[in-house]
Amino acid sequence: MKKELAIDQWKRKEHFEFFRKFEEPFFGITTKIDCTKAYRNAKESGQSFFLYYLYQSLIAANSIEEFKYRIEDEKVVIYDQINASATINRPNDTFGFSYIYFNEDPALFYELAKEEMDRVSKSTQLFPLVSGDDVIHYSAIPWIDFTSLSHARCYSFNDSVPKISFAKLTETNGKREMSISVHVHHALMDGYHVGKFIETFQELMNNQSNTLK
């Protein structure tokens, strides 16, 4: 479900009108996330670390309204819920796009995510069975400890979906860290909102109560 945002009453109306005209309206921020507690929680509960941090990032994104904004037909809409379209690696070194429904129940989220990951890994199709703008485009690049990232973009295609990428997990003196890259449409949000997401995501990664069961 979604509803239309009243642009004329929006405090960011002028920002929206300015940045939406850019050939490249996306901006990106890359930072480090402390994963020490999250990694331990995931392993102690016998869960996939990828699904563990994907779940936490979806909680963070759904808690910030601006991450639910999308531009559709010259309008701004607000989705009730944002899901994940994550790249899933295959044994033949290719990947496919998935559609993973977010559910606040961690056990149900994990069950549905595992089913979708298994389906995509066994498929030869690039695109998921379900598609739409009610997602965040996720990707994991666990082979590279990147410090910045750019995305392939088709400028003729109207795209306002946030893109979040995760790097290789590293360990130094017992501390585990992972770079995260967040690219968002500047007509819809600013660095302040990305900062809120990063802060919330880090808090959730430190919170053992959000462990998948």
Cα 141 → chain centroid = 13
Count of other CB atoms within 10 angstroms of residue 119? 16
Count of other CB atoms within 10 angstroms of residue 180? 23
Q: Work out the angle at residue 3's Cα, subtended by the Cα atoms of residues 29 and 198, and round it to the nearest 5 degrees.
A: 20
Tell me which residue of 191, 196, 198, 133 sits closest to 12, measured CA to CA. Answer: 191
CA 167, 172, 175, 177: dihedral to nearest 10 degrees? Answer: -10
What is the distance between the alpha carbons of residues 97 and 90, in angstroms, rounded to a whole number?
11
Contact 79, 161 (CB under 8 A): no
The answer to whether 186 is a known catalytic residue is yes
Tokens read off for 104: 């606040």
Active-site residue, from 15, 151, 185, 186: 186
Catalytic positions are 186
